Amino acid sequence: MDHRADPQFSTEAYDDVIARVATDAEGFWLDQAATHIDWVSEPTRALDDSRAPIHRWFPDGELNVCYNALDRHVTAGRGDQAAIIYDSPVTDTIRTITYSQLLDEVSRFARALSDRGVGKGDRVVIYLPMIPEAAVAMLACARIGAIHSVVFGGFAPAELAVRIDDTRPKAVVSTSCGVEANRILEYKPMLDEALGLAETTPDFTVIVQREQHRCELGETDLDYAELLAATPSGIDPVTVRATDELYVLYTSGTTGRPKGIVRDSGGYAVALSYSLPTVFSLEPGDTMFTASDVGWVVGHSYIVYGPLLAGVTSVLFEGKPIGTPDAGTFFRIIEDHKVNVHFTAPTAMRVVRKEDPEGKLIRKYDLSSLRASFLAGERLDPDTYEWTTRVLRQATGRDVPVVDNWWQTETGWPIAANPLGLTRFPLKPGSPTKPIPGYQVEIVDPSGTPMPAGQEGLIVIRLPLPPGTMATVWGDDSRFVSSYLSAFDGRYLTGDSGYIDEDGYLFVMGRTDDVINVAGHRLSTGVMEAVISSHSAVTETAVIGVHDETKGQIPRALVVLGSSAEALDREELKAELVALVRQEIGPVAALRRIDIVPALPKTRSGKILRKTMREIADGAPDPAVPSTIEDPTVLDDLHSVLRPG
């Protein structure tokens, strides 16, 4: 049944699947494994719980993930279908790569790596911008059973060095440069500095030379194009166990000892293949445009592996939501490539809104192909949800679902979302809807006691986590258990707070360290942010709890205004916002101070640095600033605003 034909069909499908997973998870996931994946040895067992609370999926299964992403589609006659559409407004390039072409390049690069000693279980660090070679390198590693670790392009040398030492790679794949709207970012000097700092020395590096800037190569550097030219034939895929590692991905903002999230091969392939039709309602031949980066989990799952495993065309975008050339770039891409599902972060839509508050640029484009817009990576505030829904309705003349979905680097795919291919629930602003089948989400208090409907607490997930979630922390099972599985027996601690309402909808209010205690009252800064963001003049806001001698903590708000607010009296606006929070939450919120600022400090993945701002406001002598910060000057400019006194 093609559920897309009837957007109002019964919710019984969701209820039936939830009931099936609850009573027969083993049978359910074996069915998904058989349906979605071509196995070398099909698994006869779904779950291995012999080392609980660490669980492994499909322990007797064998496969190759690259084969499932490429070869089988070519064999099935879809070799001429676009696999990747590379759209780079910063280099004025659009390039379509078919499944056959991608298979050829991946297979030859895999042979080039193998010929130089990279084999099953070896690690390869990938340090690349958003260019097709990033996907090629990832898939080539999967083809020969090597474990890749993608480090966000442009990451600071010291942090890159830490990740090199943690994974001890045989090879590093990088480039001469990254290209942004107004500058060239040279990668080779950063890579050389990182290798100088690292204790581990890889056997060789492969450099993709870009025409915008070519770099000098050292003795152990190999030119990517020359390497491919010297490798005329490819290599067959290597069989690996389902429980073998596919990749290591470090959580963004890691400081000190890195935390490498390990993803296995079989469980991840099954979960992503299941999620494309179930969550995103995408089938072979459809097109998905995920405006993220391969350095983040969203890029791993829904730029590279997810779409290709499902036979979907993936748009790989090198650019920004604004400035390349304007706030209409996402929507130009949707028109040009007939995108069916667009996936980005709420921050990106807030930036677009600030530049184009009325959606005039959006309405320039034909968005008739667009079936849904997915937003994730941070909390989707109701105001951004409402604005995105409105401008898409204006542009298309119909209601395009704007789907909030919540997940983590650790889980690898959505924990909660409106599963468009299974059941389309009525949307509730501020909620990612309901848990996806396989995730048993609960709300508990600090003692582990379940909370009643509507009351905020800690969000936990009952074990076992479904396939595709983290297998362990790289090289440290005990750290995996102590960090995630030891707080509450039989449950995974998400680190987020929220509540489940009477209808079973999940509301994620933010990280648990964003819950503040004001005179004994626990208050969510996320709730305050939602209230402030509802004001038409506000584009973006962050609320932090700062130390107070009398009340323990008090909230402070930093607000970014839209262009339509330029003529407003700022003091009057601040008073309005304070009154609005008092009206919606009550005087217990104790919000008195609001600062209007030009921008908020964020990581490159769009997460606002609330912890760093809070430490500055509390007078910490050395506040933690993650190396993934997008623009350090934004934080520098806020010091005078935030510093006490």
Bridge partners (DSSP) listed for residue 545: 555
| Whole-number Cα distances in Å, 491 to 408, 465, 495 | 16, 9, 12
Q: What value does the mean pLDDT take over residues 432-436?
A: 96
∠ CA(111), CA(75), CA(136), 5° rounding?
A: 35
The answer to whether residue 3 scores a pLDDT higher than 60 is no
Q: What is the pLDDT of residues 35-48, one digit of tens each?
A: 999 999 999 999 99
> Which residue is associated with the tokens 């280099």?
91
User: What's the pLDDT at 325?
Assistant: 95
The rounded radius of gyration (Å) of the Cα atoms in the chain is 24
- Distance, in Å, from the CA atom of 635 to the CA atom of 639, rounded to the nearest integer, reads 7
Distance CA 381, CA 9 (A): 27
Q: Hey, what amino acid is at 377?
A: G
Q: Where are the domains of the chain?
A: 519-642
- Measured between alpha carbons, how far is 537 from 493 in angstroms, rounded to an integer? 37
Question: How far is the C-alpha of 66 from the C-alpha of 411, rounded, in Å?
Answer: 21
H runs (alpha helix) in 362-424: 382-396
List Cβ neighbours of 103 (8 Å cut-off, separation of 6 or more): 70, 71, 74, 79, 234
Distance CA 92, CA 13 (A): 45
Tens of pLDDT, residues 61-105: 999 999 999 999 999 999 999 999 999 999 999 999 999 999 999
Quick one: what percent of the chain has pLDDT higher than 70? 94
H helical segments located in 67-131: 72-73, 99-115
pLDDT at 619: 86
Tokens of 457: 């607490």
- Residue pLDDT, tens place only, 338-380: 999 999 998 899 889 989 999 999 999 999 999 999 999 877 8
User: Would you say the C-alpha torsion 509, 513, 516, 522 has a positive or negative sign?
Assistant: positive
Task: Label residue 335 exposed, middle or buried (CB < 10 Å: 0-12, 13-18, 19+).
Answer: middle
The CATH superfamily holding the domain 519-642 is ANL, C-terminal domain (3.30.300.30)
Token duo for residue 238 = 């290597």
pLDDT for 389-422, tens place per residue?
A: 999 999 999 999 999 999 999 999 999 999 999 9
pTM: 0.84
Q: Quote the pLDDT of residue 7.
A: 44
Q: Confirm if 340 and 595 have CB atoms less than 8 A apart.
A: no
**CA proximity to 162, closest of 177, 149, 175, 174:** 149
| pLDDT value for 549 | 65
pLDDT confidence tier of residue 6, bands split at 50, 70 and 90: very low
Q: Where are the alpha helices (DSSP H) in 338-381?
A: 346-355
